[in-house]
Chain A
Amino acid sequence: MSNRVFWVVAFAVGAAAFALSLAVENEFYIRAAFVVLQFLVLATAWNLLGGYTGYVNFGTAAFFALGAYGSVVMEKLAPLPIPALVLVGGVVSGAVGLGMGYLTLRLRGAFFAIATLALAVVLQTLITNWDFVGGSRGAYIIAPAEIELLGHRIGYIRYLLLVMLLLSVIAVATARSVERSRLGFGFAAIRDDEQAAEAAGVPTLRLKLIATTLSGALMGMAGAPYPFYITYLDPASGFNLNYAINSIAMPMIGGMTSWVGPIVGALLIGTIQQFAIVTSFLGASPAVNLLVVGALLVAFVILAPRGIVGMMARLKGG
């Protein structure tokens, strides 16, 4: 399937999913779907850097929170419609990704990973000390109950779901396009043997910077609608390490070498988590959820390093 056809198909799938969601009465399912799709975007964004070039980013929560706080700042300064806020979040997080990458990517991969981990702690410190966005007390965002879209009034949460669906389509289609382009082959060369790639003339630093910027921007875009979903944003929820662990675990469990893996991982793990929270399955609390994700991550990296997609391929190929 050519990339152009894929983009069309992806948008069609997104539109169909939205049409389907309009038939769902219970708003709880809409909220759950929003969270799962949010993880889908984050996992796909993480995989653009982690899966394709092999550089581990532990700072998903930081990039996500930057997008979310970008929305809070804009809401206070000059309220914009959500699609514009998504762009703001993308620009801010993409710029931070570029800066981080520029400072640390010339060194070994481990330094980049450690720096992203520390970035989350420090950005949280900065936001906690920044009174304009509420500091440690957090900020309230008033979201309207309904919004008019193409002459129809729909619930605001459905509008947020539509935004997140669009973001998912864009993220997945971008990932697939990158995967099959010269850029993607360059990424794969870096992942397999960076020195050999460098020697063969692949501009490794430039490619790595493209990957961090793109990945960071998508994470920020995923964060931008979040304040309107949660209506109350504080540093602890914006920088929740939940995002970091899930965005790593989902591609690793699903499979990292193709765009399908993060989707499989996010839909599977995300849905299980939502299900577990509602039904209190096995007495599940958010803490137990994290424990399960952590244990699954460790189990998969040890026992099934290619993830679910790799296992399927092996079953098929024999």
Chain B
Amino acid sequence: MVSLDLLLSAIVAGILLGGFYAAMTVGVSISFGMLDIVNIAHPAFIILGSYIAYIVNARLGIDPVVASILAAPLFYALGALIYQIYYVAFERRGDEALRGLAFFFGLLFITEVALILVFGVDYRFVETGYVGTTLHLGPIYLPLRMLVPFICSLMLVGALQLFLTRSFIGRAIMAVSQDQLALQLMAANPVRIKRIAFALSIASAGVAGALLIIIQPVEPSIGRDYIGRVFAICVLGGMGSFPGMVVAALLLGVVESITATFYGPSWAPAVAFGCLLLTLAFRPTGILGRRA
């Protein structure tokens, strides 16, 4: 007999986890969903963000979330640089499908191995006042370690959604994802718009990294475990749609959490892949998606 309390806590923990997955995926929704750039190195940049939050936290005692917001301009600049290389070397030549993918795969390795060489393979974690605290609501436990990233993540996604729908540049990004040629006819430069969008996606990875290291200790190679998850969520959510992405993230979080609770955590990574394969096989437009 499945205990109802256990199931309830598993669902709550899954929602908190899923909310955090939204922060990890929002960058992929921009780069893969809107710009058609298959940035499989995205999780590596998330781990980079974790380590930057770790260093700033360990040296200066600044809260990891604040640290990641301070570091966001750096990630933005890194993203702009990567897009520029990608554009000149692959997109302009129409070579992104094969060599562009290999490029990001190489970046994934370089980032991961560089982190290993600098920090070693030890797990690192951050110290903040709230990491150890847990709120109790009747039978439900709300560890702040999960709740803070959940709230920050939803704020991040909300802010990006507002930016994309309300600001001029944001609307231009939506436009470039729909019809690049039409944007060009409006005398806007699609390369500049895409550079801004890609840089934003990398900046979001930096913030997601700080949230990750609040939730769990981090070592360089755990980024790989998230590749399947973030792309599964992005595809399941219908590629470029943020609301769909958040729903998919919550769904995956809950399913994973239930799997981990009742079958053991070592099975959790298989869930994301199962979702991804099923989505690709039966509903490649995602749950809320329209685009083919």
Contacts and interface: CB of A to CB of B under 8 A. Distances in A.
Contacts of B109: 241, 245, 290-291, 293-294, 297
Interface residues of B, number: 45
Across chains A and B, which 5 residue pairs bring their CB atoms closest together, nearest first? A118-B228, A294-B109, A298-B106, A122-B273, A297-B106
Contacts of A13: none
A231 interface: no
A248 B102 contact: yes
Nearest to A129: B266
B114 A115 contact: no
A291 B113 contact: yes
A125 B266 contact: yes
A50 interface: yes
Given A125-B267, A290-B109, 8 more contacts: A50-B98, A56-B101, A118-B227, A121-B225, A121-B227, A121-B273, A245-B105, A298-B107
Contacts of A305: 93, 95, 99
A58 interface: yes
A9 B228 CA distance: 44
20 contacts: A54-B97, A56-B105, A103-B281, A104-B277, A104-B281, A107-B280, A109-B97, A111-B280, A113-B38, A118-B273, A119-B273, A125-B267, A125-B270, A126-B270, A245-B106, A252-B102, A291-B113, A293-B109, A298-B107, A302-B103
Contacts of A118: 227-228, 231-232, 272-273, 276-277
A21 interface: no
B224 interface: yes
A288 interface: yes
Contacts of A295: 106, 110
Interface in A262-314: 287-288, 290-291, 293-295, 297-298, 301-302, 305
B277 A107 contact: no
Contacts of A301: 89-90, 99-100, 102-103, 106
B89 A125 contact: no
Given A56-B98, A290-B109, A298-B107, A122 B117 contact: no
B284 interface: yes
Interface residues of A, number: 40
A295 B110 CA distance: 7
A177 interface: no
Nearest to A292: B113
Interface in A36-69: 50, 54, 56, 58
B116 interface: yes
Contacts, number: 125
A103 B110 contact: no
Contact of A121 (B102, B105, B113, B269): B269
A252 B273 contact: no
B40 interface: yes
Contacts of B105: 56, 58, 244-245, 248, 297
A3 to B, nearest CB: 27
Nearest to A245: B109
B261 to A, nearest CB: 16
B225 to A, nearest CB: 6
Interface in B106-148: 106-110, 113-114, 116-117
A269 to B, nearest CB: 13
B208 interface: no
A110 B36 CA distance: 9
Interface in A100-159: 103-104, 107, 109-111, 113-115, 117-119, 121-122, 125-126, 128-129
B235 interface: yes
Nearest to A119: B273
Nearest to B85: A302
A203 B232 CA distance: 29
B21 to A, nearest CB: 15
Contacts of B113: 287-288, 290-291, 294
A293 B284 CA distance: 34
